[in-house]
């Protein structure tokens, strides 16, 4: 028999690769890595585990990968609802950020976001926000996996005064994280309308050497595209082509305004798309043509955007919205099947972040980033297809246990690495300050 740290026996294991549902299977974990996926009946003869966990009513899936969010903005949740994007940003969010955002705000906001994400099954998120050093430290302290964005924007903020300072601080963060497997860095220029050509050119030259993931809000609204065409004579995507930024490490966020030739260009360039359906719907930004993108062979991943514009960080809900919206936009009920939606929320996100060799599926050799969903609850009865029930019926309250790198961060619906009461208390203090 082989000694192992953890043995998880589940009613269903959904590995993502291959695209099957394994009934009555077990997953063996050693040193934070998956070492075997096998029929549960063989467990007693194959492994001697330090801890054995029986999930007789559960589906075990890979952790969700939230490929785009602004975690600290959880503290602005509900601050300015029911507004279009530019009004929301210019009249409400940007002034609030000027007044309140600093290291403590980011630290407390990220803690709140991590607590919410873990309890709804997210084990990795990609962030774009100020003071990314605080985000990285908070993730490391809580055991959360993250890709932290090196923010770049033209105008001064409490974090940096000019593009050179943003990049200088971001490159130091990247150096500090070089030895970390749990938290890594990516470039995160905000948007074509907030970053000018010179900083983007410098960023591209830096990334020609570093080859980090690069995420950017692109073609988020019709107004953005029209303004770019009016002031520059080009749509934003054409400008990014001229700057040499359409590369396989680019994650184009939102992409609600796309022409057919632009979709072909994205496919040819190997660009990934981060789809944020609920934020796009709430801000009335438009519809990402998910079915067309996937038919063109483009990797489409799923993100929540920030809680200030969603207003939650629930990937189960986001996945359901994405699947339903894709069908409506394409006028095709087969446009985004449940299994494809689940893959979008897991392996596709890992691939977009360059982490698909490490996470995104339950496969031997990968990190044990795992989520247990109790499918015995009333909303998921009767059960004909576990994947269909996860995508279309399950709620985040059915997530019972979560592991990141083999560490159990949610145990029977309770956080183990964060003091949830303390997180709530900090959020209440910020609420009292911000509302005055």
Judge residue 69's burial from the number of C-beta atoms within 10 Å of its C-beta, 0-12 exposed, 13-18 middle, 19 or more buried: buried
pLDDT, position 84: 85
Quote the CA–CA distance of 411 and 261 in Å, as a whole number: 48
Report field, pTM of the whole predicted structure over 0.95 = yes
Average pLDDT over the chain, rounded to whole?
Answer: 97
Q: In what order do the strands lie in the sheet with 47-62?
A: 33-39, 22-30, 2-13, 47-62, 370-374, 399-404, 407-411, 414-415
Fold type of domain 2-62+360-405: Urease, subunit C; domain 1 (2.30.40)
Quote the CA–CA distance of 360 and 355 in Å, as a whole number: 8
For residue 88, what pLDDT band results from cuts at 50, 70 and 90?
confident
* Tens digits of residue pLDDT in 342-385: 999 999 999 999 999 999 999 999 999 999 999 999 999 999 99
Least confident of 25-34, 48-57, 83-92, 291-300: 83-92
For residue 436, what pLDDT band results from cuts at 50, 70 and 90?
confident
pLDDT, position 44: 86
pLDDT, position 164: 98
Q: What is the percent of the chain with per-residue pLDDT over 90, rounded to a whole number?
A: 96
Residue 366 has phi, psi (to 5 degrees) of -85, 165
The arithmetic mean of pLDDT across residues 196-220, rounded, is 97
pLDDT, position 86: 85
* Tens digits of residue pLDDT in 394-405: 999 999 999 999
Which parts of 230-330 are beta strand (E)?
250-254, 272-275, 300-302
CA proximity to 360, closest of 305, 312, 304, 299: 299
Domain boundaries, the chain: 2-62+360-405, 64-352
Within 13 A of 237's CA, how many CA atoms are on the CB side?
27
- CATH for the stretch 64-352: 3.20.20.140
* Tens digits of residue pLDDT in 238-268: 999 999 999 999 999 999 999 999 999 999 9
pLDDT, position 55: 98
């Amino acid at each position: 028999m082989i000694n192992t740290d953890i043995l998880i026996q589940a009613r269903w294991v959904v590995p993502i690769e291959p695209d099957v549902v394994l009934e009555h299977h077990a997953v063996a974990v050693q040193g934070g890595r998956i070492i075997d996926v096998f029929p549960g009946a063989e467990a007693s003869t194959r492994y001697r585990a330090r801890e054995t966990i029986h999930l007789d009513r559960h589906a075990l899936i890979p952790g969700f990968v939230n490929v785009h969010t602004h975690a600290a903005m959880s503290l602005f949740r509900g601050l300015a609802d029911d507004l279009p994007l530019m009004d929301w940003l210019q009249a409400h969010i940007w002034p609030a950020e000027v007044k309140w955002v600093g290291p403590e705000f980011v630290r407390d906001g990220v803690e709140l976001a991590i607590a919410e994400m873990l309890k709804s099954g997210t084990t990795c998120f990609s962030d774009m926000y100020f003071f990314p050093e605080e985000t990285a430290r908070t993730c490391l302290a809580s055991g959360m996996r993250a890709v932290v964005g090196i923010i770049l924007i033209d105008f001064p903020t409490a974090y940096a005064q000019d593009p050179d300072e943003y990049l200088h601080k971001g490159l130091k963060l990247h150096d500090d994280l070089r030895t970390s497997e749990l938290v890594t860095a990516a470039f995160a220029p905000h948007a074509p309308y907030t970053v000018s050509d010179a900083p983007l050119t410098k960023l591209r030259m830096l990334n020609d050497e570093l080859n980090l993931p690069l995420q950017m809000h692109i073609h988020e609204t019709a107004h953005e595209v029209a303004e770019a065409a009016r002031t520059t004579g080009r749509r934003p995507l054409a400008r990014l082509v001229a700057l040499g930024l359409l590369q396989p490490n680019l994650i184009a966020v939102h992409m609600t305004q796309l022409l057919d030739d632009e979709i072909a260009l994205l496919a040819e360039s190997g660009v990934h798309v981060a789809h944020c359906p609920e934020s796009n719907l709430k801000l009335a930004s438009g519809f990402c043509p998910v079915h067309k993108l996937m038919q063109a062979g483009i990797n489409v991943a799923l993100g929540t955007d920030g809680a200030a514009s969603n207003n939650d960080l629930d990937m189960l809900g986001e996945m359901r919205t994405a699947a339903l919206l894709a069908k409506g936009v394409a006028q095709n009920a087969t446009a985004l099947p449940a299994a494809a939606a689940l893959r979008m929320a897991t392996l596709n996100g890992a691939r977009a972040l360059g982490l698909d060799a490490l996470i995104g599926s339950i496969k031997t050799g990968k990190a044990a980033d795992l989520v247990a969903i109790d499918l015995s609850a009333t909303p998921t009865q009767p059960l004909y297809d576990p994947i269909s029930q996860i995508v279309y019926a399950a709620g985040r309250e059915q997530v019972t246990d979560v592991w990141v790198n083999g560490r159990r961060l949610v145990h029977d619906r309770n956080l183990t690495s964060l003091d949830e009461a303390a997180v709530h208390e900090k959020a209440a203090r910020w609420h009292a300050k911000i509302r005055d």
